[in-house]
Amino acid sequence: MAYIKIDYKNCEGSKCSICAYACPTNVFSIENGNISIKSPDSCKLCNKCMEICPTSAIIIKRVEIKLFQGLIGRNGYVTL
């Protein structure tokens, strides 16, 4: 899963919008002159948007979610 953040202080919004066109999975959308993250779950962590952004306004990090962390017993099974 990806954590995506746009630094709006550096983002040029619809004047640029290169990230929205570069993204192969349509994570971004252009609304009211701003770039927004419409579907972060679609991100495949290819980093194309981050690499192409001329102002380095996009930050992407891989996030692992461990739902059962701390619930796995010594036998390797989840105890509820």
> Which pLDDT score, from 0 to 100, does residue 32 have?
86
Instruction: With cut-offs at 50, 70 and 90, classify the pLDDT of residue 64.
Output: confident
CATH of the domain at 19: 3.30.70.20
Distance between CA atoms of residues 5 and 63, nearest Å: 13
**Residue 70 forms part of a structural domain:** no
Is residue 13 one of the residues assigned to a domain?
A: yes
User: pTM value?
Assistant: 0.72
Count of alpha carbons within 13 Å of 2, Cβ hemisphere only?
18
Q: What DSSP string describes the chain?
A: -EEEEE-TTT--GGGT-HHHHH-TT--EEEETTEEEES-GGG-----HHHHH-TT--EEEEE----TTTTTB-TTS-B--
Total domains in the chain come to 1
Asked whether residue 10 is assigned to any structural domain, the reply reads yes
Give pLDDT tens digits for 14-61. 899 999 999 999 999 998 888 999 999 899 999 999 999 999 999 999
Model pLDDT, residue 67: 63
Mean pLDDT of 9-17: 92
Is 74 within the bounds of a domain? no
Residue 76 forms part of a structural domain? no
Where in the sequence is the domain holding 43, given as residue range(s)?
Answer: 2-62
Say if 20 falls within a structural domain.
Answer: yes
